[in-house]
Structure 1
Amino acid sequence: MRIALYYLIQCTWGVVQSTLGVIYFIFYFSERHYFYHGAVVTEWNAKSSVSLGMFVFVTKEPYFYDKLKNEYTIEELSQRLLVHEYGHTIQSLILGPLYLIIIGIPSTLWGFLPCCNIKRKAKSISYFSFFTEKWANFLGEQVTGQKSMENLVIN
C-alpha cells in the first residue's frame, strides 16, 4: 500500500520531475536498474548522481572514493549515496511541483558553480552541509533506517 501511494504521489504531485526521470530512464535504458524502497534506481557512468521524482540515477563509482577509501569501502559509500539520493525522492513527495525550484536548482548550483566549488574546497565545507543536501540525508535516513552521507567532505 505504501509503495502504491509513493507511485501515485510521484506521478501526480511530482509529475514534472517524474516526467524528466522517465526521459532519463529511457535514455539510460541499457544501464543496470533496480528498485529501492519503491524508487527506480539506475546506475550510470556519470560523475554525479541525481533524483528526479521516483527515479534515482546513481554513479557506478563515486568520484570521491579515492579520498575516503581509508575510512569506507566503495560499497558503503555507494549505499550511503543511495540513501541520500532516496532522500531527494522524499523531498519530491513533499514539495511536488516546487521540488525543482526549491531543491533541484539550488542543489545543482551548489554542486557545479565554480565559486561554490572553490569555497567548499578552500574551507573544507561538506557538499552535504547545504540545506537541500542535509535535508535529503535526514529524510533518507528516517525513511530507510540506514546511514546517509552525513557531512562527508568529498571535494
Structure 2
Amino acid sequence: MKNVIYILIQCTWGLPQTLLGFIVFLINIKNKHYFYHGAIITERNVPSSVSLGMFVFTTTNPMKDKRKKNKIPDEELSKRLLVHEYGHTIQSLIFGPLYLIVIGIPSTLWGFLPYFQNKRNNGVSYFSFFTEKLANYLGEKVTKEKSMENAII
C-alpha cells in the first residue's frame, strides 16, 4: 500500500520531474532496472547518479577522486549512493512541482560548476551542500539504511 501511495503522489504532485524521469527511463530502457521502496532504479555506466521523481538513475561506476583515500568499499559505496538518491525522491514528494527549482537546479550547479568542483577538490564533501545533506537524512530516515554522510569521493 505504501508503494502505491508513493507512486500516486510522484505521478501527481511530482509530475514534472516524474515525467522527465520517465523520458530518461525510456532512453535507458535496455539497462538493468529494479524496484527499491517504490522507486524504479535504472543502472547506467556513467560517472554520476540522478533522481527524477520516482525514477532513480544510479551509476555502476561512481566517481571517485583517486587522490583521496576513500574508506568506503565500492559495493558499500553503491548501496549508500542508492539510499542518497532515494532521499532525493522523498524530496520530490515534499516539494512537488517546486522540486526542480528548489532541489534539482541547485544540486546540478553544485555538482557541475567548476567553481564548486574546485571547492570539492580542496576537501569539501559533495554531500555537505543543503540539497545533498537533506537527501542523505531523508533516505536514511525512510529506508533505515546508511547513506553517504559527508563522504569525500
Tell me, in whole angstroms, the C-alpha distance in 1 between the residues paired with 2:65 and 2:87. Answer: 21
How far has the Cα of 1:55 moved from its partner? 0.2
CA contact 1:141–1:148 (8 Å) conserved in 2:
yes
Tell me, in whole angstroms, the C-alpha distance in 1 between the residues paired with 2:75 and 2:33. Answer: 17
Look up the match of 1:148: 147
Look up the match of 2:132: 133
Amino acid in the other structure paired with 1:134: K
Tell me, in whole angstroms, the C-alpha distance in 2 between the residues paired with 1:150 and 1:110. Answer: 17
Unpaired runs of at least 5, structure 2 = none
| TM-score between the two structures when normalised by the length of structure 1 | 0.95
Tell me, in whole angstroms, the C-alpha distance in 2 between the residues paired with 1:143 and 1:119. Answer: 30
Query: Mapping of 1:46-125 within 5 angstroms?
Result: 46-64=46-64, 66=66, 67-68=68-69, 71-122=71-122, 124-125=123-124
How far has the Cα of 1:68 moved from its partner? 5.0
- The superposition leaves residues 49-69 of structure 1 with CA deviations (integer Å, 9 ceiling, x where unpaired) of 000000000001212175455
- The superposition leaves residues 15-73 of structure 1 with CA deviations (integer Å, 9 ceiling, x where unpaired) of 0000000000000000000000000000001111000000000001212175455x222
Amino acid in the other structure paired with 1:54: M
- The superposition leaves residues 84-143 of structure 1 with CA deviations (integer Å, 9 ceiling, x where unpaired) of 000000000000000000000000000000011112212x11000000000000000000
- List structure 1 segments (4+ residues) > 2 angstroms apart after TM superposition: 65-69
How many pairs are equivalent? Answer: 152
Unpaired runs of at least 5, structure 1 = none
CA RMSD of aligned residues (A): 1.2
CA contact 1:65–1:77 (8 Å) conserved in 2:
no
Paired residue secondary structure (2:47): coil
Tell me, in whole angstroms, the C-alpha distance in 2 between the residues paired with 1:140 and 1:45. Answer: 23
| TM-score between the two structures when normalised by the length of structure 2 | 0.96
Paired residue secondary structure (1:57): strand
Paired residue secondary structure (1:146): coil
